Amino acid sequence: MLVLPVFVDANVSARSEIASLPGHARLGVREVPRVAERAIAAGIGGLLLFGLPAEKDDRGESAADPFGPVPMALRALRDAGPGLVLIADVCLCEYTTHGHCGVITPEGLIDNDATLPFLAAAARVYAEAGADVVAPSDMMDGRVAAIRDELDAAGSPEAAILAYAAKYASSFYGPFRDAADCAPRFGDRAGYQMDPRNRREALAEIAADLEEGADMFMVKPAGPYLDVIAAARGRFDAPLAAYQVSGEYAALHAAAARGWIDLRRAALESLTGIARAGADSIVTYFALDAASWIRER
């Protein structure tokens, strides 16, 4: 059930620790197979790869560079032959100078439709490099259909799409934005991510993504949205992933570091709640720890 997020950084040769995500680092491409070995040994199901490119531009073109950090890591993992599901996050925010998940109009608005070809091109490159699953997290409308068409046309019909269908405009993404250097330089993401007060919109977003051809869907964040997970589980049969995001992880670590909670018990309780709500798989920064804690029980 557990999926480990991994940050692959084109600007790092070995490891660069991420202060706000204890135990996690930005990794150079050559370090990634080592993490995969640990993941296999721990018995976790997959890796979710994020990339930090050497160069950014206003259209995030390096997201589709076949020699960018994510495709390079995917090829290194394929050569290492691990029995892990390899999932590549698809978004522009790590690759754009302005830090938004899509292309920007001269007026400073997100150009939803102009973004779709860039996302599709990135998904194609990741599938060709060996991703089993591509996971669009940008929240542009129509991206699942655009990616499905591109993958089919490009000869990667087997690649699956895990759509971040119900992704809320959350205050729990802060540590990730430090880690992936993708905080928006102006404005916020409320124009394309969802309003935390709205549950029915999540169900509409999930239905739309499945209709467009998503094979699996995600609810994100997880802990504050257990009702959304439960409602989605009751309504849809497709596999449901939940993302316990960076701020959820960092908050538990920070409290534990002060002696206010027991990290291991609190982490396992939070993950159990997400599973109980109906998630089939959980993306979590606790993946390696949780797998070994569960085995020890």
Q: Considering the complex, what minimum distance in angstroms separates the CB of residue 191 from ligand PBG?
A: 12
- 56 catalytic? Reply is no
Residues in contact with ligand PBG, shown as a per-residue x/- string from 160 to 179 under the rule CB under 6 A: -------------x--xx--
Asked whether position 284 contacts ligand PBG by CB under 6 A, the answer is no
Nearest to 6, CA basis, from 64, 62, 86:
86
Cα dihedral 232, 236, 240, 246, rounded to 10, equals -30
Residues in contact with ligand PBG, shown as a per-residue x/- string from 25 to 64 under the rule CB under 6 A: ----------------------------------------
**CA distances in angstroms from 93 to 57, 80, 189, listed in the order given:** 10, 29, 11
Asked whether position 189 contacts ligand PBG by CB under 6 A, the answer is yes
Nearest to 94, CA basis, from 48, 47, 60:
60
Closer to ligand PBG at the Cβ: 78 or 177? 177
Burial class (CB in 10 A: 0-12, 13-18, 19+), 166: buried
> What CA–CA distance (Å, rounded) separates 227 from 254?
25
DSSP 142: T
Q: Which stretch binds ligand PBG (CB under 6 A): 11-19, 85-93, 118-126, 197-205?
A: 85-93
Question: Helices (DSSP H) in 81-199: which residue ranges?
Answer: 112-129, 143-153, 174-180
Asked whether position 87 contacts ligand PBG by CB under 6 A, the answer is no
How many residues make up the chain in this entry? 297
Closer to ligand PBG at the Cβ: 149 or 181? 181
Closer to ligand PBG at the Cβ: 126 or 173? 173
Q: Considering the complex, what minimum distance in angstroms separates the CB of residue 81 from ligand PBG?
A: 27
Catalytic residues: 167, 220
Binding stretches for ligand PBG (CB under 6 A): 89, 91, 93, 101, 137-138, 173, 176-177, 182, 189, 245-246
